[in-house]
Structure formats: C-alpha cells, structure tokens
Structure 1
Amino acid sequence: MIRFQGLHHVSLAVRDLKRAKVFYSEVLKFPELPRPPFNSKGVWYAVGDQQLHLLEHPEGDTLRDRGIDTTDGHFSIWVASFSETKAYLDQTGISYEARPDSVAGFAQIFLLDPDRNIIEFAAPYGS
C-alpha cells in the first residue's frame, strides 16, 4: 500500500526559460526556490507547501499549441479571493477565462503561460 502524504510538485515543459521566469517570477510573483545543479535548464517555485518546476525542453515538441481547453492537462492553485485574483490579472493584461459560478463547486479562472500551459486559479464562490 502507498501511504500518500500530498502532492510534492508539478513539472511543466517550457520553450524559453528566461521568458517563463519573467511570467512566473515577475508577473505571477511565485517565490523561487534553490534548484540542484542538474544538467538541464530549469527553475523551481514555491506554491504554498508544494512546488512548481519549470524545465526548458530542448526540442519543444512536447508542448501544447492550443488555447484554453479545461479538459486538457493543467494545474490548479487555490487562492483566497476570486475577485482579487481577477483584478490582479486585469491589471497585468493577462487574458483569462473566468467561471465565477462554475459547476465545480468553486469559482475558477483559467489562463495560459507563455508556452500555453494551462493554469487554473480556484477560489471559494463569492470571494
């Protein structure tokens, strides 16, 4: 039996690590973590008690080319406020798809990073 304790990290492939770092570090304000000296290019971020790992993929052929498709692979981050998150995204000019009354049981905001990875921000209804 596997005794699960939680999700440790999610890894995403990116085409251009410098461009991805601008988006995740400067726009979304994810705090960067130290990363071991692997033979690959990458960056690690703290997302609460979990981590997001970005890995520069040398070929780029594993990456998405489509727009937001919520049935496609994505990761979700629980946020305290739907309205504050939406307002911040409006300030930055990031395009998103908002679902304040989602049938999921919570409000959702979906967006794409520069490599078209899907990110979901989830929040309590009415927050």
Structure 2
Amino acid sequence: MLVRGLDHINLRASRELMERLRDFYCEVVGLRQGPRPPFGSFGYWLYAGDQAVVHLSEAGAGSVMPQRPLGTYDHTAFACSDRTAFEAKLRNLGLDYRVAEVPLTGQVQLFLRDPAGNGVELNFMA
C-alpha cells in the first residue's frame, strides 16, 4: 500500500458560512466550483485544474461546530504562481496577509485566513 498524495480537504459549515467560504476559495485563492456527486447533503466541490481539492459540506441541523479551528491544525497550502498578481489581489480586497521565505529554497509563502478562520498558505516557487 502506498499513499500517493493528499486528495482534498473538507470544510463543514453552516450554509451561510459555506457560501462565504466558496466565494473566498474561488475569488481569492483561484479555485473554481465544479461537479459534485449527488450526496444527500448540500455542498460544493472546488477544483484546482481537474482535482477537487476543497470540499465544502453543510453542517446539518443541530450540529455543534467549533467557533474556530482547534487542535493541531494550522493551515492548508496551495501551490500557486504569479505572486505579484496574488499580492495585488489581496491588497485590493483589503485582506491581511503575512509573507515568509523558506530558507535555502527561494520559496515564498503568503499566509492569510479564510472567513472561518482557517489558515491558508499560498506557496510560490522562485
């Protein structure tokens, strides 16, 4: 048995927050909404190319949801290109972000938060 990579992340939220998350991941990160199997619950699949990398699932009635990420989870990272355009977009949208460089690699990371408070990393190779 061999793990070939990370397939997707799933974020579960109220319908209202899920809509805001969809807008963020499409408009800010650059994913696109695409096909989703006809599950019994409402949700979205968001794609990078041909891969559904972010699944959004509606929390059912009576679900107890944490107010912010808990435990050891810190962020989800996306491999990106055109750092200049991304930074301009983030500034134009008035979104706070932090820039970090990975030593010895030339890699640059932009860190920000989605509408639910989840950490998001936009990763750029030199």
TM-score tier after normalising by the smaller chain length:
0.7 to 0.9
Q: Do 1:43 and 1:54's aligned partners in 2 also have CA atoms closer than 8 Å? A: yes
Within a 5 Å distance, the mapping from 1:59-98 to structure 2 comes to 59=63, 61-62=65-66, 64=68, 72-98=73-99
1:3 aligned to 2:2? Answer: yes
Structure 1: distance between partners of 2:103 and 2:50: 27
Unaligned runs of 5+ in 1: none
Structure 1 residue aligned with 2:38:
37
- Structure-2-length-normalised TM-score: 0.76
1:39/1:104 Cα in 2 relative to 1: closer, same or farther (>3 Å)? Answer: farther
Listed as ranges, the gaps of 5+ residues in structure 2 are: none
> Root-mean-square deviation (CA), in Å?
2.5
What is the CA–CA distance in structure 1 between the aligned matches of 2:104 and 2:3, rounded to whole Å?
24
The 8 Å contact of residues 40 and 56 in structure 1, kept in 2 or not, is answered as: yes
Deviation, 1:6, is 2.8
1:17 corresponds to 2:21: no
Local SS of the residue matching 2:87: helix
8 Å CA contact retained: 1:75, 1:119: yes
Q: Which aligned runs of 4 or more in structure 1 are off by greater than 6 angstroms? A: none
Is contact 1:82-1:108 (8 Å) kept? no
Give the TM-score taking structure 1 as reference length: 0.75
Secondary structure of the 1:76 match is strand
SS in structure 2 at match of 1:108 = strand
